[in-house]
Structure 1
Amino acid sequence: MSDAPSLDDDDIVQFIDEPSEWAPSTSADPWHILIVDDERDVHEATRLALCDLTIEGRPLVFLQAYSAQEARAILAREPSVAVVLLDVVMESEDAGLLLVRWIRRELGNQSVRIILRTGQPGYAPELETIRSFDINDYRTKSELTRVRLFTSLTVAIRSYWQLRQIEMSRRGLELIVEASTGLIRLRALQQFAEGVVTQVCALLNIAQEGLICASSSGPFADEAPRVIAAAGHYREMIHRPLAELPEASVREALRQCLLEKRHRFDRTVCLYFNVSETQGMAAYLAMTGEPSQMDRHLLEVFCANISVGFENVLLHNRLFRLAYYDQLSGLPNRNRFIQLVEEKGRDPDMALALLDLDDFADIATTLDHHFGDEVLRAVAERLEQTFGSQVMLARVAGDTFGLLGPRDAVTPERIQQVFSEPLTVRDETIRLSATSSLITLNGQPAKDRDLLKDAGIALKQGKRLGRGKANYFSEALGRAARERMQLLSSLRAAFSAEQLSLVFQPQIELASGPVIGAEALLRWEIEPGRWVPPDQFIPLAEQSGLIVPLGEWVLRTACRQLHRLTERGHTGFRMAVNVSHAQFREPGFVSMLECVLADSRVAASQIELELTESVAMDHIDDINTKLADIRRRGVTIAIDDFGTGYSSLSVLRQLNIDRLKIDRSFVKELDGTHTKAGIAQLIIALGHQCNLALIAEGVENAVQRRSLLAMGCLEAQGFLFARPMPIEQLEDWMAAAVSNQDQPV
């Protein structure tokens, strides 16, 4: 045992009078300590702190180097140096680490212990460097009080002596290295611990009889010590509390080992592993007689290495839980659920389901997020109670849960059963519903995330069709969704590459025939001669948010072409531009409109924005405020496709608009008879009563034109007059119409 110093204060280095000579007066072989530091004060402080101490009954002799170069020379001629107290930053920022590399690789000295010290924590070596070059300890100089310096040095010297003993005898060294290397690959705690029992028994050449138990703390919080691994006839004790061990002597030995936090080599052998993730681990070995001194040294080295291995395994387990388990509910998360699907995807009797809580955001917003978290935990518990262990559960998103299990267990009826009774949270009774989607696995290899994507498609479809129900995924549904995604991706690319274009359909005054304006229409030619219909790509742009930048581009382009027409003499020409509901409700829409008008230098009165009836879905007061703001700038507002959407008469009366646009479906019914003119006639009468202008779209023949004019609709557009055309053709068409006023338009 070392002669521990009597120290009253751990926070200061006590300075004593410097002796005339630093060499020890005793005849015992001293430990040679090399101090490497470019600061003389550090040398003096270190020597003063340690000069009168002995370790393992042997005094200390100090060698001094003020640079890495001096240290190399000393180490080359003094192979008996036990410990190097090494400054990291000296003549260069990495001088200390380069010296370590030289000691281990070029000098080939694997025995000398190295304690790194630095006054600059920012230059701390990487963990890989500490591991690769067998650095014994790393401390900042401010940490190394007298007691801590003595402690680090004692540990280092003991380690040095043990290594020298091993080098002299070589007994068991290969087994230690082999065991450490093999065990470090094991990640499961029980498997690792069982390997430790096996290897230590092999190291001591005894029968594989033993066990390991862990004390409570960390992952074992709130638990009594329990057996985590065993070999031989102790194997039946795995996972049982230490208190249930039938052999009182073994039970007491392990209890004392954990309590005293040290190895015990008396009537029994118990090894203590100081693992920070727990309050400690202890291994009992069924051996007769006490181990030899050499075996003790081997066991201490082995335990030191294995303690690090235990910490790595427990760290891996913790990281695994963080990566693959939801911290709120304790259920597997999306990553783990994908793994489970991959593992079970070949089983044709399995079914997968996604369950999404309806209106959960309102709960979290109305009450508070902590309450929402408790609701999610309550749902997770209800799911576990309902489905039991046969169904694997996961929380794959905020309020979305995944289920994977036998198809006769994962059914719409069982899912609905989860919410058949209200939940109780904080003494509050909460009644929830959920929309779910199900997929029956077909036994084919699972395509990891594809199955979840398919279930997500069915879930979204279910949300659109009706909440609180279950929907099975179909291949047709999946194909349609993938086609939409491909189309959206192509649309983004086309927009970025400026491959979209505008065409313009003239708007006509029905009574006399002159052109009064045009509607700007977006077109997408995906390849020469192949066009994507707007009713296919516009909804995708709206759902994805692409409609906002796309809509601004359409408005800017239309205004730029209007400016071009005005400069060519078509004054008073009106340009109608469609505005999506999603674009219109953007907070910056009005300021964007104002900026576009200023940039394009067109009169606001020449621009008419066409909105669909869905605008009336939002708060009418807020919508009217924005509409009034737009109209104050001189821009007119039209409701497009009137009669096909959401408007009611009361809403129409409240909206600040200028024009109604009669949908082509009602114009198509006009055949000159009174019986089929009903809806168009009602819309025109409604417009007159509300003092709104009217325009009809989709006019294709003279009968429809005469009918509209007779009913009081004065403006129209349609194939009867002209098809949509590029701006250059529109200019030519308008020039021809102006030059020949007598010719019917």
Structure 2
Amino acid sequence: MNSTGNDDIFLFAEENEEACLTSIDEYGWHILIVDDDKEIHTVTQLALSGVRILGKPLLFGHAYSGKDSVEYLKSHNDVAIVLMDVVMENDNAGLDAVKQIRDELHRDDTRIILRTGQPGYAPEEQVVQEYDINDYKTKTELTRNKLVTTLISALRSYKQICQIKQNHFYLEHIILASTSLQQQHQINQFAKLVIEHFCLLTQILPDGLLAIKNTLAEKTPIIVMGGSQKYQQYENQALELIDNDRIIRQVSLCINQKQNIISEQDTTLFINNQKYQAALYINATPNLAELGSYIEIYLANISIALDNITLIKELKITAFTDKLTGLQNRAGFIKSLNKFIEQPSLGDTVVLVDICHFSEVNHGLSQEIGNQLLKACADRLQDEYGESCQIARINADVFGIIGSADKVSPEKIEDTFSFPLLVANQRFPIYVNSGFYQRETTAQTGLQVLKYADIALNQAKQSHAPSFAYFDEAFEQKMAWRLGMVQQLRADFQAGRLQLWLQPQISLDTQKATGCEALLRWKTEQGNMISPDIFIPIAEHSGLINEIGDWVIEEACRHIKQLENRGIHNINISVNVSIAQFRDPTFISKLCNTIDLFNVSPEQFGLEITESILMDNPKVIIESLNTLKQHGINISLDDFGTGFSSLSYLNQLPITTMKVDRSFINEMDTTNGEVIVETILALGQKLNLITIAEGVETQEQINRLTELGCNIIQGYFYAKPMPFDEFQAYLSQQPS
């Protein structure tokens, strides 16, 4: 496009107007002139010669077509303003170039001022709306003063955009650094990242270190946490060991004066923290003024992350230490056991020591006394074995020891606790069970060693008296067998292979069945019958007994209903319950709801409890039984006289029936045995209870029980336990 006489107006008019001037800077604003008329380049640059805007001179670049301007911007990232002619190689060359600059080069910060010598060719309003430009003027209206004013406005906008982008850069990197530092758990790596992120933020090469001083401890030295490569040899060492007097002086000065120390040679920044004071030393002098408050934000983030890294260090210690006793905890003991496997010098024996009846101390004397007892026990072990063995508290009342056989033999352990412990100014005698593992038994991991010692401890606890046991592979096989039985029991229960058999209870007056006891039977998929003496304890130990017990109650109610539907209304079914079921707080409500759900008469449903259930928590059990009694359910005391004496509670129990255990019936042919049965039956009669004798197998037993006034007989003499269908057939064969 050729220049016209009118173009001279904007170049030379109002020359007395001054631009906004500030301090002189060696750098200038990069202005790109884009016009296909070389004269426009010359006169524009001449008109703006010597002008300083916002303290900087103008530096000019030149392009003579829209296409050239795009190529120029590709290789120059610092162009602040483009003075773009609209009509050049074609009518829309300038507008096309603007679109490329914005959409393809993504140069959103560069300000673009459109100039045209053909007013009205491209309507100003339409162009401003469609294109991201700073201004759009005809060349005739751009006098020198107006051109400078337009440039000032555009450069202010450019400077603000650059500042926003710079702020975004700082914030983005501070957030990135903060996230990275918070996730770091290793102190030396933490220090290295602090250096790297700072140098990335300030655009300098990473060269420095991070030092720290614990302010909570007196006379502690300044420690080098870590740093760039040439300082890594000093990690976790005192600062004074560095072979550089200047670094020692600058870092010490920074921490002692609690302020930043900045020189022409290096920069040392103070990092304040509640527990620690730290100094970030950088072997360079970055322009911190440009960062403004961002450098303080970065240092504050280091302080927070420093809290985190020291907390994690404390947590690692806590993770392996028992808070109550100060000994190793289970995790720490397993860690020591792993070393035990690798290092024979640590000893050849591992023992677990369990305090007998510790729960009774907690429940009877308070948890505080229980804790003091545990601390006293830990102190006793520490005094006896602390110098030569490793000691840990594995769980609530179990301690572990690693040492040699001559130090931790059963005799030594027994002797350790032969004298009572001093707790709350009183002497507490305690007894322990011990499980031993010896190195010659194969174990690959510390966890396996702990497992084997625990198996031995469980074997020792099988005895009623305090005892000890050494691990034997037969124990492990037994444990594996039990685990397999638990899995098979659970699978067969879910598959419906458990059955409820019924054993008739015969009235001695009528010689007819008045009820029956529901007995659980397990027939495996292979057709094998598993004895209840085997699978009931397994169910109780595994926690499956509650689920099975709920099913037994439902099945008993279902059988009562089936008998009613056949016109049989006078047969009671009683079921046995375990301690675990009574410990379930929902058991009583579930039982009553099940009876109501099946719409059976509560009087035809009986519950058999043993003395061991009663003695588990007499007060709670009696309250629960009263609730069941109010619901109409019959309560029977099973195995009377075989467990703890319940005479003191007998008058409080809402029972209707007392059962004489088969062990007493079997001894009736002896004088003492007969006296015991006679006494139990007489007690039942005095208390107006129905008496049932279990395990009756001979006519002689029946004759004597009849003489003694027993009400009901249950045993093989009349009938064995049988499936429900056979039980129905049995009832149908009774005399009318």
Q: Is the counterpart of residue 441 in structure 1 residue 408 in structure 2? A: no
Q: Is the counterpart of residue 256 in structure 1 residue 283 in structure 2? A: no
- The CA deviation at 1:558 is 0.6
- The CA deviation at 1:527 is 2.7
**1:707 corresponding residue in structure 2:** 704
- The CA deviation at 1:482 is 3.6
**2:686 corresponding residue in structure 1:** 689
Matches within 5 A, 1:327-726: 331-346=327-342, 349-356=347-354, 383-388=381-386, 390-412=388-410, 431=428, 433=430, 435=432, 436-442=434-440, 444-460=442-458, 465=463, 472-584=470-582, 586-618=584-616, 620=618, 622-670=620-668, 677-726=674-723
C-alpha distance 230-697 of structure 1, shift in aligned 2 (>3 A)? closer
Q: Distance in 1 between matches of 2:658 and 2:71?
A: 97
Judge conservation of contact 2:250–2:261 (CA < 8 Å) in 1.
Answer: no
Q: Distance in 2 between matches of 1:23 and 1:214?
A: 47
Judge conservation of contact 2:327–2:391 (CA < 8 Å) in 1.
Answer: yes
Q: Distance in 2 between matches of 1:107 and 1:323?
A: 54
**2:94 corresponding residue in structure 1:** none
SS at match of 1:345: helix
The match for 1:225 among 216, 221, 225 is 221
Q: Distance in 1 between matches of 2:455 and 2:427?
A: 28
SS at match of 1:584: helix
Judge conservation of contact 1:604–1:634 (CA < 8 Å) in 2.
Answer: yes
C-alpha distance 23-317 of structure 1, shift in aligned 2 (>3 A)? farther
Judge conservation of contact 1:346–1:442 (CA < 8 Å) in 2.
Answer: no
Judge conservation of contact 1:394–1:401 (CA < 8 Å) in 2.
Answer: yes
Judge conservation of contact 2:558–2:598 (CA < 8 Å) in 1.
Answer: yes
C-alpha distance 362-514 of structure 1, shift in aligned 2 (>3 A)? closer
SS at match of 1:450: helix
Aligned Cα root-mean-square deviation (Å)? 5.7
C-alpha distance 570-466 of structure 1, shift in aligned 2 (>3 A)? closer
Number of paired residues?
Answer: 580
What amino acid does structure 1 have at the position aligned with 2:334?
A: I
- The CA deviation at 1:274 is 5.4
C-alpha distance 265-548 of structure 1, shift in aligned 2 (>3 A)? same
**1:730 corresponding residue in structure 2:** 727
SS at match of 2:481: helix
- The CA deviation at 1:618 is 4.5
- The CA deviation at 1:382 is 5.8
What amino acid does structure 1 have at the position aligned with 2:665?
A: V
Judge conservation of contact 2:443–2:449 (CA < 8 Å) in 1.
Answer: no
C-alpha distance 380-495 of structure 1, shift in aligned 2 (>3 A)? same
C-alpha distance 226-596 of structure 1, shift in aligned 2 (>3 A)? same
- The CA deviation at 1:494 is 3.1
- TM-score for both structures, normalised by structure 1: 0.62
Judge conservation of contact 2:25–2:56 (CA < 8 Å) in 1.
Answer: no
C-alpha distance 236-635 of structure 1, shift in aligned 2 (>3 A)? closer
Q: Distance in 1 between matches of 2:209 and 2:28?
A: 40
Q: Distance in 2 between matches of 1:352 and 1:596?
A: 51
Q: Distance in 2 between matches of 1:366 and 1:645?
A: 22
What amino acid does structure 2 have at the position aligned with 1:494?
A: D
SS at match of 2:658: strand
Cα deviation 1:626-648 (Å, max 9, x = unaligned) = 43443333322222222322235
SS at match of 2:277: coil
SS at match of 2:733: helix
SS at match of 1:694: strand
C-alpha distance 215-503 of structure 1, shift in aligned 2 (>3 A)? same
- The CA deviation at 1:603 is 1.6
- The CA deviation at 1:726 is 1.2
Q: Distance in 2 between matches of 1:30 and 1:697?
A: 110
Q: Is the radius of gyration larger for structure 1 or structure 2?
A: 2
Cα deviation 1:448-479 (Å, max 9, x = unaligned) = 43332333344455566468776544444443
- Percent sequence identity is 33
C-alpha distance 265-21 of structure 1, shift in aligned 2 (>3 A)? closer
C-alpha distance 424-151 of structure 1, shift in aligned 2 (>3 A)? farther
Judge conservation of contact 2:696–2:715 (CA < 8 Å) in 1.
Answer: yes
C-alpha distance 330-699 of structure 1, shift in aligned 2 (>3 A)? closer
C-alpha distance 411-642 of structure 1, shift in aligned 2 (>3 A)? same
C-alpha distance 680-347 of structure 1, shift in aligned 2 (>3 A)? farther
- The CA deviation at 1:522 is 0.8
Q: Distance in 2 between matches of 1:74 and 1:554?
A: 89
- The CA deviation at 1:503 is 0.7
Q: Distance in 1 between matches of 2:659 and 2:316?
A: 60
Q: Distance in 2 between matches of 1:692 and 1:514?
A: 19
C-alpha distance 508-588 of structure 1, shift in aligned 2 (>3 A)? same
Judge conservation of contact 1:272–1:281 (CA < 8 Å) in 2.
Answer: yes
What amino acid does structure 2 have at the position aligned with 1:350?
A: D
- The CA deviation at 1:560 is 1.0
What amino acid does structure 2 have at the position aligned with 1:641?
A: D
Q: Distance in 1 between matches of 2:505 and 2:268?
A: 93
Moved more, 610-619 or 396-405: 396-405
Judge conservation of contact 1:525–1:532 (CA < 8 Å) in 2.
Answer: yes
What amino acid does structure 2 have at the position aligned with 1:730?
A: F
What amino acid does structure 1 have at the position aligned with 2:721?
A: P
C-alpha distance 326-643 of structure 1, shift in aligned 2 (>3 A)? closer
C-alpha distance 434-716 of structure 1, shift in aligned 2 (>3 A)? closer
Where structure 2 has 5 or more consecutive residues not aligned to the other structure, the ranges are: 1-17, 31-52, 60-69, 81-103, 108-159, 175-179, 196-207, 289-294
Judge conservation of contact 1:332–1:394 (CA < 8 Å) in 2.
Answer: yes
Q: Distance in 1 between matches of 2:319 and 2:252?
A: 34
Moved more, 676-685 or 249-258: 249-258
Where structure 1 has 5 or more consecutive residues not aligned to the other structure, the ranges are: 1-19, 33-52, 62-71, 83-105, 110-145, 161-180, 198-209, 285-290
C-alpha distance 562-327 of structure 1, shift in aligned 2 (>3 A)? same
Q: Distance in 2 between matches of 1:369 and 1:329?
A: 15
Q: Distance in 2 between matches of 1:600 and 1:350?
A: 62
Moved more, 603-612 or 389-398: 389-398
SS at match of 2:722: coil
Cα deviation 1:684-718 (Å, max 9, x = unaligned) = 33323333222222222333333322332232122
Q: Distance in 2 between matches of 1:632 and 1:187?
A: 62
- The CA deviation at 1:532 is 1.9
**1:143 corresponding residue in structure 2:** none
SS at match of 1:737: coil
- The CA deviation at 1:504 is 0.8
What amino acid does structure 1 have at the position aligned with 2:221?
A: P
